[in-house]
Amino acid sequence: MINIPTDLLRTLVAVVDLRSFTKAAHSLGVTQPAVSAQIKRLQQLLDADLLDKSAPGVSLTPTGELVVNYARRLLSINDQILHAAGPRTETQVVRLGMPSDLTSAPLTRHLAEFRPPSGRLRFEVQDGPAEAMLQHLRQGDLDLVIADSTSVPAFSARHYWTEDLVWLHADAMRLNTAKPVPLVASGPSSASYRVASAVLNQAGRDNELVFTATEFGCLTAAVASGLGVMALSRSRAASTDLPFWDPGPLPPLPSISCGIYLREGGERETLERLADQIVEHIRPPQEGPQRPQISSPSVTPVRAVGR
């Protein structure tokens, strides 16, 4: 029984697909004489001419056509066996919880450039109120959470900082004091909206949520069109083309607390590296002493307002 080495069949298929001995040699990482020698050996084993020498370029004989068809099937099975039996590199999944106004194109590109030591990585991003995301973190349903709140979180964060909030508005925006202040936000549970609504209520100003969206681009477009005003961190407001009141006709907004929290266990090294890189992208330059980083061994109950 004659066994045909698969490397000879792979060389034949490469020559046929690339229509060139030279290109086949380059793709296989061997010399052109080596390719010619392998084709010659294959023809000797089969005792048949596979290439039509009378035709220009690379042309198969009827026997060659038949052999190439079978070779493709055999090589496919060979590769499937190697894939099924060989060691696999598991894809690491990182489940992120973050406010929708942070899921910008630059941050997405930043995630795409991040590579863990294991090599393969997939991100699953979800949005929601801070309380819900932190609860999912405690339960192990999320791996990393970026949460905004109006109070200092009750448990240690990998990174923590505060940001000022400002009123983002359109150039031609004019508020009618006889009507409710129209607000734009990612949702009624967002921290920025809850802060804005609370500040206006305390100042005796009626307000209403007139536009919500999950994408930051939609929110800024709504503000630009004059639908309403939006409470936004100063750093995010500066990244848009829209002006903001500071001060302005509306009452000033307080600072908001921001933190990056990690799930206990799992690929801790990867999560810490990811958190350290994310914070460099989303945290504005800090003035004065900063709160030191703390990596907590466990997650305890938290009281966070909003998202």
Q: Residue 291: which pLDDT band, with cuts at 50, 70 and 90?
A: very low
Cβ atoms 230, 184 nearer than 8 A: yes
At residue 150, does pLDDT exceed 90?
A: no
Query: Would 140 be classed as within a structural domain?
Result: no
Report the distance separating Cα 266 and Cα 224, nearest Å: 43
At residue 297, does pLDDT exceed 50?
A: no
Q: What is the CATH number of the domain that holds 36?
A: 1.10.10.10
Query: Would 41 be classed as within a structural domain?
Result: yes
Backbone angles phi, psi at 179, to 5 degrees: -120, 160
Give the range of the structural domain holding residue 10, as residue numbers without chain letter. Answer: 6-85
Report the distance separating Cα 250 and Cα 287, nearest Å: 26
Task: Give this prediction's pTM.
Answer: 0.58
CA-wise closest residue to 13 among 49, 38, 48, 46: 38
Query: Would 19 be classed as within a structural domain?
Result: yes
Average pLDDT over residues 78-94: 75
Average pLDDT over residues 105-132: 73
Cis-peptide, bond into residue 252, ω within 30° of zero: no
The tally of domains found in the chain comes to 2
At residue 294, does pLDDT exceed 70?
A: no
What are the pLDDT digits (tens) for 196-229?
A: 999 999 999 999 999 988 778 888 899 999 999 9
Query: Would 74 be classed as within a structural domain?
Result: yes
Largest CA-CA distance found in the chain, in angstroms, rounded:
96
Cβ atoms 161, 281 nearer than 8 A: no
Q: Report the percent of the chain where pLDDT is more than 70.
A: 85
Which residues in 233-259 are b (16+ Cβ under 10 Å) and which e? bbebbeebebebbeeeebeebeebbbb
- What is the average pLDDT value for the chain, to the nearest integer? 81
Q: What is the CATH number of the domain that holds 219?
A: 3.40.190.10
3-7, 9-13, 64-68, 238-242: least confidently modelled range: 238-242
Average pLDDT over residues 81-103: 74
Q: Are strands 207-212 and 92-97 parallel, antiparallel or unpaired?
A: unpaired
What are the pLDDT digits (tens) for 38-57?
A: 999 999 999 999 998 888 88
Q: Which residues pair with 297 in a beta bridge?
A: none
Query: Would 29 be classed as within a structural domain?
Result: yes
